[in-house]
């Protein structure tokens, strides 16, 4: 029992892996939060896309007028898609990076900058902040993922 | 040879990890199925988005009329995007959860509820079922991923 | 110190896992490249979606005319979304496959075909090549992921 437990948790006992798990969970939760913000704006702006979602507003024309796009809803959806395009590569490449034996301090530097940049990116997108706020926060996160990918390819290369 | 094999398969020998691998593969295959359903509706509804996809229907105006959106195609695409937004976090957080040493019974409960909820969500979206069918199945899957993320952060926390 | 290092890098010492890490990093970087191509076309075609992105072009109506869709931008974005729909399942299922103890030669065959197919798919989408170029390259990548999922489910099955 004890031995089995130890085996199953050995990765999570590694400090670099723990740091990865913490940051990966945080940015994935942040990405999931976009669904709730989208739902909030859809309901408060009364802007839906599926006819069955407007059934509670009545039948026929009275409900149909809520099948529309809203600028705030679309903005959150673009932020959500941008998260998918950037957080998903971070989670995939970050896992390989955490298993490639980096120094804990170097790994933490990568993870912290990425998490911070993506949280800033979300605020920059939703407020919105004037450019280049959003552009820069995107570029910082992108560069961190690129740096980790370089370490992974240098360590693991077997094509 | 034997030792190497054992080393490479030790994660897959762990029961929690096997359960994770089974459910992750099932929900990812389910997500991939959305591509086939989209292709099916695009072909049967003759509703395409790329000009080169309609070349077999003739040249010029006769082909151009098939470059259009179709409600059924758009509905499947929304279901596909919703899968990306929800199944991808499950796969990422679920992996970390499986490595955080949960009880097999607790892990199975999480995985089974998520897989069931996402299959229900797909039926609710495609049929479509009246609300709150789709909303509830979405919320159940979302809550399961959230619960796993809580366990991961509690076990691994190293910010 | 040495022992800890060895433990943390044992997965990356496995040849199948190294091959997986190499190919997963390559296709994720390829997917990330789509962001840069989108940005390139948005800037050269002057076709933006966020009002704050056009502020440097002046105020009012003179900037508003750059808030528009452009066929080249939309084409790259569709290619990017297709990558998310196909490369993400490959990365998830490929990890489980790499841990399921396949022969190195079989694993390399899967990974190489997938990576090649997705690079071809990108060229087929962006040039664009006449069909069935894009369709076939998509189907090849899809089939590879399906084949790996079959091996995962056969090895790990615990529902």
Mean pLDDT, residues B43-65 taken together: 87
Smallest CA–CA distance, residue C132 to chain A, in Å, is 27
pLDDT at B105: 97
DSSP for C35-63, please give it: HHHHHHHHHHTT-BSSGGGGGGG-STHHH
pLDDT at C62: 77
Most confident of A1-15, A36-50, B48-62, C2-16: A36-50
pLDDT higher than threshold 80 for residue B96: yes
pLDDT higher than threshold 90 for residue B4: no
Q: Which residue has the tokens 């009002």?
A: C51
pLDDT higher than threshold 90 for residue B106: yes
pTM for the whole structure: 0.93
Binning pLDDT at 50, 70 and 90, where does residue A3 land? very low
Q: Would you list which residues of chain C are within 8 Å, Cβ to Cβ, of chain B?
A: 10, 14, 16-17, 75, 78, 84-86, 88-89, 92-93, 95-96, 99-101, 128-131, 134, 142, 145-146, 149, 152-153, 155-159
Q: Do A91 and B92 touch (CB under 8 A)?
A: yes
pLDDT higher than threshold 80 for residue B62: no
Model pLDDT for residues C91-138, shown as the tens digit of each residue: 999 999 999 999 999 999 999 999 999 999 999 999 999 989 999 999
pLDDT higher than threshold 90 for residue A152: yes
Size of interface A-B (CB pairs under 8 A): 92
Percent of chain B with pLDDT over 70: 94
Q: Do B55 and C96 touch (CB under 8 A)?
A: no
pLDDT at B5: 40
pLDDT at A4: 43
Average pLDDT for chain B: 92
Mean pLDDT, residues C35-64 taken together: 89
Residue C91: closest CA among chain A residues belongs to which residue?
A92
> What is the rounded CA–CA span in Å between residue C12 and residue C19?
9
> What is the rounded CA–CA span in Å between residue B40 and residue A113?
43
When CB atoms are compared, the residue of B10, B84, B99 closest to A84 is B84
What interface predicted TM-score (ipTM) does this complex get? 0.92
The encoded tokens of residue A16 equal 């670099």
Is the model more confident about B104 or about C131?
Answer: B104
Smallest CA–CA distance, residue A68 to chain C, in Å, is 18
Is the model more confident about C120 or about C1?
Answer: C120
Tell which of A10, A17, A21 to mutate to test the B interface (max B CBs under 10 Å).
Answer: A21
Provide, as residue numbers in chain B, all residues whose Cβ is less than 8 Å from the Cβ of C145: 32
Separation of first and last alpha carbons in chain C: 39
Model pLDDT for residues C54-69, shown as the tens digit of each residue: 988 877 777 889 999 9
> What is the rounded CA–CA span in Å between residue C22 and residue C34?
19
> What is the rounded CA–CA span in Å between residue C32 and residue B85?
17
Provide, as residue numbers in chain A, all residues whose Cβ is less than 8 Å from the Cβ of B158: 15, 18-19, 22
Domains and CATH numbers, chain B: 1-158 (1.20.120.550)
| R_g of chain C, CA atoms, integer Å | 20
Give the neighbours of chain C: at least 3 Cβ pairs within 8 Å. A, B
DSSP for A138-151, please give it: HHHHHHHHHHHHHH
Percent of chain C with pLDDT over 70: 94
pLDDT higher than threshold 70 for residue A131: yes
pLDDT at A84: 97
Give the neighbours of chain A: at least 3 Cβ pairs within 8 Å. B, C
> What is the rounded CA–CA span in Å between residue C157 and residue C159?
6
pLDDT higher than threshold 50 for residue A21: yes
> C140 with C85: CB under 8 angstroms?
no
Question: Mean pLDDT lowest for which of A100-104, B20-24, B61-65, B148-152?
Answer: B61-65
Helices (H), A9-70: 10-13, 15-44, 61-64
> A59 with B130: CB under 8 angstroms?
no
Binning pLDDT at 50, 70 and 90, where does residue B59 land? confident
Average pLDDT for chain A: 92
Coil, strand or helix: which one is A46?
coil
pLDDT at B144: 98
pLDDT higher than threshold 70 for residue B1: no
Question: Mean pLDDT lowest for which of A111-115, C13-17, C29-33?
Answer: C13-17
> What is the rounded CA–CA span in Å between residue A36 and residue A33?
5
Average pLDDT for chain C: 92
Percent of chain B with pLDDT over 90: 84
pLDDT at A5: 40
DSSP for chain B, please give it: -HHHHHHHHHHHHSHHHHHHHHHHHHHHHHHHHHHHHHHHHHHHTT-BSSGGGGGGG-STHHHHTTBS--HHHHHHHHHHHHHHHHHHHHHHHHHHHHTT---HHHHHHHHHHHHHHHHHHHHHHHTTPPTTHHHHHHHHHHHHHHHHHHHHHHHH---
Which residues, at least 6 apart from A72, have a Cβ–Cβ distance to it below 8 Å?
A41, A45
Provide, as residue numbers in chain B, all residues whose Cβ is less than 8 Å from the Cβ of A12: 96, 99-101, 155-156
Question: Mean pLDDT lowest for which of A132-141, C18-27, C58-67?
Answer: C58-67
pLDDT higher than threshold 80 for residue B37: yes
Number of H helices, E strands in chain A: 7, 0
Mean pLDDT, residues A116-143 taken together: 97
| R_g of chain A, CA atoms, integer Å | 20
């Amino acid at each position: 029992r004890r031995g089995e437990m130890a085996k199953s948790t050995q990765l999570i006992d590694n400090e670099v892996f723990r740091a990865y798990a913490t940051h990966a969970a945080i940015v994935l939760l942040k990405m999931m939060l976009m669904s709730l913000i989208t739902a909030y704006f859809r309901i408060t702006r009364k802007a839906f896309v599926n006819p069955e979602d407007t059934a509670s507003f009545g039948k026929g024309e009275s409900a149909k007028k809520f099948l529309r796009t809203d600028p705030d809803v679309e903005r959150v959806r673009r932020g959500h898609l941008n998260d998918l395009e950037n957080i998903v590569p971070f989670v995939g490449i970050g896992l390989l990076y955490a298993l490639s034996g980096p120094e804990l301090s170097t790994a933490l530097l990568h993870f912290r900058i990425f998490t911070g940049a993506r949280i800033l990116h979300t605020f920059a997108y939703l407020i919105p902040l004037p450019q280049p706020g959003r552009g820069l926060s995107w570029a910082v996160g992108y560069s961190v993922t690129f740096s980790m990918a370089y370490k992974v390819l240098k360590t693991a290369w077997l094509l």
